[in-house]
Amino acid sequence: MLFISSSLSIAEAEIELTAIRAQGPGGQNVNKVSSAIHLRFDIPASSLEGSVKRRLLNLSDQRISKEGVVIIKAQRYRSQDKNRTEALQRLQELVQSAIFTPKARRATKPTRGSQLRRMDKKTQHGQKKNMRAKPSLD
C-alpha cells in the first residue's frame, strides 16, 4: 500500500513498476544493470475518489498522458531500490497535490469609502503632475 494521507491510499496492484536500463554516464554499469524504474499509474482505472481523479486529470503536468496514465521515470541513483522509492514518492506527492481542494472564491465589491479614497488619490496625483508642467503664457 502507498499511503497518501490518513484516509487515502493506493494499492500496489494498481501501480506498475518496471526496471529498465538508465541513460547517461555510468560506464559499464549503465550497459549491464537495469537500475532505473519506470512507474505507470492509470488514474481512470484506479480506486481513488472521483473528485481526486478529476483534479488529477485536470492538472497540467507533463507526467500525465492524454489517456490519464501517470508515467514517472526514476534514474537518479545506481540502486534499483532507491529509484523505486523515489518513483513512489513522486507519485505520492503528485496525488497529494490533487487532494487539496481550493477554497471557492466569492466575488466582493469595494466599499463606498474605499472608492472615494481611490478617486481622491487619483485627483491629488493628477494635480501633482499639473504642478510640474511649464506655466502657460496666458
One-letter amino acid of 92: Q
Q: Could you confirm whether domain 2-99 is CATH 3.30.160.20? A: yes
Model confidence pLDDT, tens digit, residues 47-61: 777 878 888 887 777
Model confidence pLDDT, tens digit, residues 90-116: 888 888 888 877 788 999 999 999 999
Q: Global pTM?
A: 0.63
The SS3 of residue 17 is strand
Model confidence pLDDT, tens digit, residues 33-51: 777 888 888 888 777 778 7
Examine the pLDDT at 2 and tell me if it is beyond 70.
Answer: no
Domain ranges within the chain, ordered by starting residue? 2-99
Map 47-116 to HEC letters.
CCCHHHHHHHHHCCCCCECCCCEEEEEECCCCCHHHHHHHHHHHHHHHHHHHHCCCCCCCCCCCCHHHHH
